[in-house]
């Protein structure tokens, strides 16, 4: 199983780099706006002011995003007070590529949190039955095709016992 990197707050040097880039960005943005305002581009006054206010609005949005970068932190991971049981559902309908379903099922088995996986198989495909058996996945099928994929998932929900789906 692949090790997952833990997320950490930026170091002091990384924060300093971010803040220097933000200051340089503000200086560059101010110089651009000043030049654009002074340059005499207003041959068509209404269009000029529409463009100018659009650029200013965009700059304000960028500045607000930069403010978030300046104060970036990573909150502590909360402790898990209750162990929830989780059920994961994926579906298969005839005609979908079997390789895609196989890749999806293998990826789901790599999830580290305890869970039960259900493959809702509309075709009752023998290959997928065998794959589910090998991977430890619950294979669910049904006899009717009522309500398409939603009906397929609703059928599997009747067999599910997890707190979180």
Q: Minimal CA–CA distance to 90: which of 118, 62, 132?
A: 118
Residue 133 contacts residue 103 (beta carbons within 8 Å): no
Is the model more confident about 27 or about 42? 27
State yes or no: pLDDT of 1 exceeds 50: no
State yes or no: pLDDT of 149 exceeds 50: yes
Q: Where are the domains of the chain?
A: 12-70, 86-157
| pLDDT above 70 as % of the chain | 93
Burial of 77 (0-12, 13-18, 19+ CB in 10 A): exposed
Q: At what angle do helices 98-109 and 126-135 cross, to 10 degrees?
A: 10
| DSSP annotation of 146 | T
Q: Which residues contact 52 (CB under 8 A, 6 or more apart)?
A: 36, 37
State yes or no: pLDDT of 3 exceeds 70: no
- pLDDT interval class at 4 (50, 70, 90): low
Widest CA span of the chain, in angstroms?
Answer: 74
Mean model confidence pLDDT for the chain: 86
| DSSP annotation of 39 | S
Residue 84's pLDDT is what? 79
Residue 127 contacts residue 98 (beta carbons within 8 Å): yes
Is the model more confident about 55 or about 46? 55
Quick: pLDDT tens for 94-124. Answer: 889 999 999 999 999 999 888 899 998 888 8
- pLDDT interval class at 164 (50, 70, 90): low
Is the model more confident about 117 or about 82? 117
* DSSP H/E element including 60: helix 45-70
């Amino acid at each position: 199983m692949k090790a997952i990197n833990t997320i950490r707050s930026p170091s002091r040097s990384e924060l300093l780099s971010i803040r220097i880039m933000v200051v340089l960005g503000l200086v560059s943005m101010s110089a651009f706006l000043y030049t654009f305002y002074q340059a005499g581009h207003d041959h068509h006054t209404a269009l000029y002011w529409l463009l100018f206010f659009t650029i200013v609005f965009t700059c304000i949005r960028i500045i607000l995003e930069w403010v978030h970068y300046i104060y970036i932190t990573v909150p502590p991971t909360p402790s898990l007070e209750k162990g929830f049981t989780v059920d994961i559902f994926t579906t298969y309908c005839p005609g979908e590529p079997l390789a895609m379903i196989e890749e999806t099922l293998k990826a789901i088995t790599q999830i580290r949190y305890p869970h039960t996986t259900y493959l809702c198989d509309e075709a009752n495909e023998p290959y997928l039955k065998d794959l589910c058996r090998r991977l430890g996945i619950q294979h669910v099928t049904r006899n009717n095709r009522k309500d398409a994929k939603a009906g397929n998932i609703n059928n599997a929900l009747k067999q599910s016992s997890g707190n979180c789906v």
